[in-house]
Amino acid sequence: MVIRILMLILALTTPGLASAQDRQIPETLAQVQLSFAPVVKKILPAVVNIYTKRTVSSAVPNPFMGDPFFSQLFQDQMFGGRMRKHIENSLGSGVIIEKEGLVVTNAHVIRDAEEITVVLSDGREFASKVVLNDDRSDLALLRVDTRGESLPFAMLKPSESLQVGDIVLAVGNPFGVGQTVTSGIVSALARSSLNINDFNFFIQTDAAVNPGNSGGPLVALDGSVVGINTAIFSKDGGSLGIGFAIPSEMVATVVAAEKAGVTGEKGIPRPWMGISAQTVTSDIAQSLNLPKPVGALVAALHPASPLRQAGVKVGDVILAVNEREIRDAPEMKFRMATVPIGQTATLRVLRQGQSLDVPVKAIAPPDDPPRHEMPLKGNHPLNGAVIANINPAVVTELGLAGGEEKGVVILRMADGSPAARFLSPGEVLLEINGRKIAEVSDVAPALSLSNSRGWSFTVSSQGRVQTIMIR
């Protein structure tokens, strides 16, 4: 009898148990046992499912390909290599951040899409178009044709407000089953040991994230968006409790670029530092008398680097950007990437035991020396390729590996051209027919040196050197 009385008192006095109408956001350990429904009710209307369509071509296998004799004839697809086009559908998630219909999602969700449909939680469907595609951050912005309607939207919140252990929600459309909410905690911040996008700086969470969640929001308990879910660590495609989200600070830079009218297929311009840096290890920290291994050690500076012009020197350790401490070199790159071009960032630098504050202006990668783009035509294997001199702007556009700061690179090439059969954009021409290639003007004379044995090309691709013989 006493137990029943105690249970009745508990039911009448505990918020959220006495009445289903008194639900509230969990704020204490006891309230964690209640409900996340208020958060979900706030964010769900702004989360969208994204359906895309694109036309893809695939080879139709020749019926003789499996024959031991005839298969030799089809190795180069000269015979019977018919192509068939079909429509491929894919799905993902996104979140509306403006009532006028601006949607944030992942760039890989809408890549090569010819038709994009956005579906709200209430079932309404809207056509949309890509207004900004930033592959470097794996973020994209869509504009929804709202037909004059005001749409529900969510607010961005700095991920800096998060701490490891905070509860977060992931909302999306996993496996196409429909809008799904999962909960978890922030497992780690500033994850930088991945290779997902150019900035490699992520929030890690154990909230279940599966295929189809990409582009959906990571949500704090006040209903604000602190990140965009982008990838998972998985052996079989399912959730293993290791998901990664792009911090909201990077999302904010992409939104600001769209507001400023900086749109296009190549993404948005970001500050160029002209620096080669390495993470401070325990050994480096000990040699520099640092109390702990944090920061980025400046290993090299480009002659045009704004850091060099501001007084930063090789051997300095960058400890903070705009008063935000730097754990490693990737975090320094991320922090600078969120500084708008034209503004000044303050770097805290350690030099010979002394801490210095250095103002550094964020600049776009210089297009100098001139790239001198040149389309190649003629009776040679490079017919159809467009080449250019390497400079910081070209390195940034193509994502060339560090160290490739001069020479001649393949910018692009025509589909089906001779060059497209053995070269790809971003590959650096080192030698042609035994002649070294230092600039664009060296290419034409080298191509004229062919003999009865054909042409030879020595190229570098992401630091890997190989020689290709064409007869």
Show which residues are catalytic: 108, 138, 214
Which DSSP category does 14 fall into?
S
* Residue 428 CB neighbour total at 10 angstroms: 23
Q: How far apart are CA 201 and CA 146, in angstroms?
A: 33
Q: What angle do CA 364, 253, 273 make, to 5 degrees?
A: 30
> 3-state SS of 358-423?
EEEECECCCCCCCCCCEECCCCCCCCCEEEEECCHHHHHHHCCCCCCCCCEEEEEECCCCHHHHCC
Chain-centroid distance, C-alpha 92:
16
Q: Which residues contact 34 (CB under 8 A, 6 or more apart)?
A: 15, 16, 17, 23, 24, 26
Measure the N-to-C terminal CA separation of the chain; round to a whole number of Å: 96
Single out the residue of 94, 108, 110 nearest to residue 153, CA to CA: 94
Q: Which residues pair with 171 in a beta bridge?
A: 181
The structure tokens 């089953």 sit at 177
